[in-house]
Amino acid sequence: MTVKDAGRAASADSFRGGPPPESAEFIQLLTPEGERVEHPDYPLDISAEQVRALYRDLVLVRRIDFEAIALQRQGELGIWASLLGQEAAQVGSGQALEPNDMAFPTYREHGVAWCRGLDPVKLLELFRGVSHGGWDPREYNFHLYTIVIGSQTLHATGYAMGIQRDGAVGEDGEAVIAYFGDGATSQGDVNEAFIWASVTNAPVVFFCQNNQWAISEPLERQSRVPLYRRAQGFGFPGVRVDGNDVLACLAVTRKAMQAAREGQGPTLIEAFTYRMGAHTTTDDPTRYRLAAELETWKLKDPIERVKAYLVRTESADEKFFTALEAEAAELGTRIRKACQEMPDPSPLSIFDNVYAGPNALLESERDEYAAYLETFEEAVR
């Protein structure tokens, strides 16, 4: 063994069994205490009005989440996947998108949906069991929620390959953002998406919200390296951002999307955040994680720091906060009412939209079932 080889072996050994990924180094523009800090690579020129708008998004998105959890508890929704704690990652990245950009969400991107102009009531349809996702993705440039873990990263990549073929790459071009979580990075589909995006230099940004938990499994079960570093092995840049810092998420996503639009290819963004609630309303996180961990993260709350900044810099007054509170309450009331009044779909709609055109088998099944249902109505009469 040469000296050089020995050195390589030693470094490989020291890597194996090494410590789990350390927390912490990331791009941050607003500290948990609400202090504005600068980063040389991510200058952000943002007005007080724009910060107030982001704050409004954060507050309203949290309100939607709060209301949906309550609706589930009251039996109005079958299940809900809470985004509590991830508001900044979603609003920051969501507001970094241009109208023509396309977003591919998981099932937790309620904040991004909000930024794309989708009525939250539409999201409730899915969780109430009224539809599988009834909005038109083209209307909002926001794809349907994807529940199978990681599948949408390939769809995003393929969509970006279409943008290339359409000649829509360039300064005023279009780009795609794919949302997924830390757990999804283990899936073959996600790794294949990285490969496709890399070799095709597709205009796609991979936005990973590392919320530290895949249901009950901590990040150490998915990775021995910080997730953003995976990008290097696939051949494109990776960057880690404070996922609880809406300004940093905005700046980092904006830059990556612009690079994609201009033909510089993909970026992996790891938004380092925390799932403050359960995986879904059917999950019980007390079985697998300590309450102290949540307390630590509460100090890094994505909303509180923006409020602290607005107050400290006198960028918002009491009137603003009071009005926003009223707006949030009104939004909560509206979606609650809309959810409770949502009609059940008609039984025969089961047979709709399976194929592009008429299908003889489905038509006969529909007729038979309609006749069968009739027999019950006759019995009732």
Partner 1 sequence: MTRLTLSKALNEGLRKALENDPKVLIMGEDVGKLGGVFRVTDGLQKDFGEARVVDTPLAESGIVGTAIGLALRGYRPVCEIQFDGFVFPAFDQITTQLAKMRYRSRGQLSLPVVIRIPCGGGIGAVEHHSESPEALFTHTPGLRVVACGDPADAYAMIQLSVISDDPVIFFEPKRRYWDRAEVDTSGGLAAALPLDRARVVVSGTDATVLCYGPMVKTCAAAAAAAEQEGRSLEVIDLRSLSPLDTDTIFESVRRTGRCVVAHEAPVTGGLGAEIAARITEECFYQLEAPVLRVGAFSTPYPPSKLEEHYLPDLDRVLDAVDRTFGY
Residues serving a catalytic function are: 275, 279, 288
Rounded Cα gap, residues 31 and 56, in angstroms:
19
In the complex, the smallest distance separating the C-beta of residue 188 from partner 1, rounded to whole angstroms, is 5
The residue among 51 and 208 lying less far from partner 1, judged by its C-beta, is 208
The residue among 101 and 283 lying less far from partner 1, judged by its C-beta, is 283
Neighbours of 9 (CB within 10 A): 11
User: Considering only residues 149, 247, 260, 310, which one is a binding residue for partner 1 as defined by CB under 8 A?
Assistant: 149
In the complex, the smallest distance separating the C-beta of residue 163 from partner 1, rounded to whole angstroms, is 27
Binding segment (CB under 8 A) for partner 1, from list 36-44, 146-154, 201-209, 251-259: 146-154
Sheet with 102-104: strands ordered across = 102-104, 176-181, 204-210, 267-272, 238-242
Beta-carbon contacts of residue 154 (< 8 Å; ≥ 6 apart): 189, 192, 193, 196
User: Considering only residues 68, 123, 184, 208, which one is a binding residue for partner 1 as defined by CB under 8 A?
Assistant: 184
Binding to partner 1, residues 91-130 (CB under 8 A): 107, 126-130
Nearest to 55 by CA among 281, 301, 367, 347: 301
Binding to partner 1, residues 7-66 (CB under 8 A): none
Rounded Cα gap, residues 317 and 339, in angstroms:
33
User: Considering only residues 36, 52, 70, 78, which one is a binding residue for partner 1 as defined by CB under 8 A?
Assistant: 78
Name the DSSP class of 180.
E
Nearest to 112 by CA among 161, 156, 167, 46: 156
Joined tokens for residue 112 = 């991004």
In the complex, the smallest distance separating the C-beta of residue 269 from partner 1, rounded to whole angstroms, is 19
Binding segment (CB under 8 A) for partner 1, from list 17-25, 135-143, 158-166, 213-221: 213-221
From residue 256 to residue 295, the character string flagging contacts with partner 1 as x (rule: CB under 8 A) and all else as - is: --------------------------xx---xx-------
The torsion angle over the Cα atoms of residues 146, 264, 212 and 121, rounded to 10 degrees, is -40
Nearest to 123 by CA among 105, 111, 141, 110: 110
In the complex, the smallest distance separating the C-beta of residue 266 from partner 1, rounded to whole angstroms, is 21
User: Considering only residues 23, 100, 216, 296, which one is a binding residue for partner 1 as defined by CB under 8 A?
Assistant: 216
Name the DSSP class of 71.
H
Nearest to 149 by CA among 93, 108, 85, 106: 106
Rounded Cα gap, residues 243 and 255, in angstroms:
16
Binding segment (CB under 8 A) for partner 1, from list 26-34, 63-71, 145-153, 312-320: 145-153
Binding segment (CB under 8 A) for partner 1, from list 42-50, 62-70, 97-105, 343-351: 343-351
What is the identity of the amino acid at 330? E
User: Considering only residues 296, 313, 340, 349, which one is a binding residue for partner 1 as defined by CB under 8 A?
Assistant: 349
In the complex, the smallest distance separating the C-beta of residue 15 from partner 1, rounded to whole angstroms, is 18
Residue 131 in the binding site for partner 1 (CB under 8 A): yes
In the complex, the smallest distance separating the C-beta of residue 233 from partner 1, rounded to whole angstroms, is 17
Distances (CA, A) of 14 to 5, 17, 278: 14, 7, 36
Residue ranges binding partner 1 (CB under 8 A): 78-79, 107, 126-132, 147-149, 183-184, 186-189, 214-217, 221-222, 282-283, 287-288, 344-345, 347, 349-351, 354, 361-362, 365, 369, 372
